[in-house]
Amino acid sequence: MRTVACIVLPGFAPFEFGLACEAFGLDRSDDGIQNFDFRVITPEPGVVPSKIGFSLNVEHDLSFAYEADLVVVSPIPRPYWGSVDERVLDAVRAAAARGAWLLSVCSGSFVLGAAGVLDGRKATTHWMYADVMAEMFPAVDIDPNVLYVQDGRIITSAGTAAGIDACLHLLRLELGAEAANTIARRMVVPPQRDGGQAQFIAKPLPETRSQSLAIVTDWMLENLRLDLTVDQLAARAHMSPRTFARRFRADLGTTPAAWLGRQRLIQAQRLLEQTDLGLDAIAYECGFGSAAVLRQNFSRTLGTTPTAYRARFACPVSMAS
């Protein structure tokens, strides 16, 4: 992936548009990360108003969308959900037909829905809009509870910050785990949030609860190779297993087992990129137990094999460094 087109339409949401610029438009060559040819596009070049009283001067029309490796669709206002510019829909359809990546943020999913590229696929949007989207596009399998969904080469995300998670997910697929982690550090956001996490937590959490869980999650990251159980983790947090599981989900939006599995996979990606350890050794270090289980997790989550991942992203360094 080297070229990125970001579509903006009148009434665009500045934050969600900005996060696409942050993820794909900045020069990060000083960090050893490739730059993308990133262009903001719109049907009629010129002044495009945002939804909060300022405008953007867009120089490029939609032609770049017909060659870009990734087409990002920014959110559009509710009045336009059922009347998207046909030129935009044609560009989206063409991108999907030629196998380009498509990524929508928040209500940008309505553009993909109107283009028909989500029919028969799983998708998400902001939980506030999920019912409307389901009514408008009954052929789409909408999950209102998750941060983002990847179905093939189409990624849809929930509102606001979930778009960052979706962008980092794609960057991890295209550039590898270490590059995505470097970008996340520059953005000062966590690199680990999985798409299956909940869009929102039940209620604000007392600081003491967050601290107690932070101690446990830090210990989990340092001991991925161990066979960790909820009972063990609950004891370390000085809670009953039931209370620990409930508070973990409330705080992190997922179960302890799902969170742990994601961290193990991320560590496996790092080891494949940065070391020449064999698959059995990596499986042991990450707590998968065997190379077969490691392969199963890679295939299910990343759609590739550990060997193929290493061939694409390997840049071995010594374990000591």
Buried b (16+ CB within 10 A) or exposed e, 151-183: bebbbbbbbbbbbbbbbbbbbbbbbbbbbbbbb
Mean pLDDT per 10-residue interval, the chain, length 321 residues: 96 93 94 94 96 95 98 93 95 98 96 97 93 96 90 92 91 89 83 56 40 85 92 92 90 86 90 92 94 91 86 62 36
Residue 180: per-residue pLDDT: 87
Residue 211: per-residue pLDDT: 66
Residue 262: per-residue pLDDT: 87
Q: Look up residue 115 and give its two tokens.
A: 């283009």
Same fold flag, 3-187 and 258-313: no
User: Please, are residues 237 and 211 in contact by the beta-carbon 8 Å criterion?
Assistant: no
Residue 321: per-residue pLDDT: 36
Distance separating alpha carbons of residues 40 and 56, to the nearest angstrom: 10
Give the right CATH number for 258-313 from 3.30.1360.200, 1.10.10.60, 1.20.1740.10, 1.10.10.10. 1.10.10.60
Phi, psi for residue 311 in degrees, rounded to 5: -60, -30
Give the right CATH number for 3-187 from 3.40.50.1370, 3.40.50.880, 3.40.50.10860, 3.40.50.300. 3.40.50.880
Residue 203: per-residue pLDDT: 34
Per residue, the 3-state secondary structure of the chain, as one string, reads CCEEEEECCCCECHHHHHHHHHHHCCCCHHHCCCCCEEEEECCCCEEEEECCCCEEEECECHHHHHCCCEEEECCCCHHHCCCCCHHHHHHHHHHHHCCCEEEECHHHHHHHHHHCCCCCCEECCCCCCHHHHHHHCCCCEECCCECEEEECCEEEECCCCHHHHHHHHHHHHHHCHHHHHHHHHHHCCCCCCCCCCECCCCCCCCHHHHHHHHHHHHHHHHCCCCCCCHHHHHHHCCCCHHHHHHHHHHHHCCCHHHHHHHHHHHHHHHHHHHCCCCHHHHHHHHCCCCHHHHHHHHHHHHCCCHHHHHHHHCCCCCCCC
Residue 195: per-residue pLDDT: 58
Distance separating alpha carbons of residues 6 and 42, to the nearest angstrom: 8
What is the pairing mode between strands 148-151 and 154-157? Answer: antiparallel
Domain ranges across the chain: 3-187, 207-253, 258-313
Residue 208: per-residue pLDDT: 38
* Model pLDDT for residues 90-146, shown as the tens digit of each residue: 999 999 999 999 999 999 999 999 999 999 999 999 989 999 999 999 999 999 888
Distance separating alpha carbons of residues 257 and 11, to the nearest angstrom: 41
Q: Which residues contact 63 (CB under 8 A, 6 or more apart)?
A: 41
Residue 199: per-residue pLDDT: 54
Residue 192: per-residue pLDDT: 56
Distance separating alpha carbons of residues 62 and 50, to the nearest angstrom: 18
Residue 320: per-residue pLDDT: 37
Using a 10 angstrom Cβ sphere, with 0-12 exposed, 13-18 middle and 19 or more buried, the burial of residue 110 is buried
Distance separating alpha carbons of residues 164 and 104, to the nearest angstrom: 11
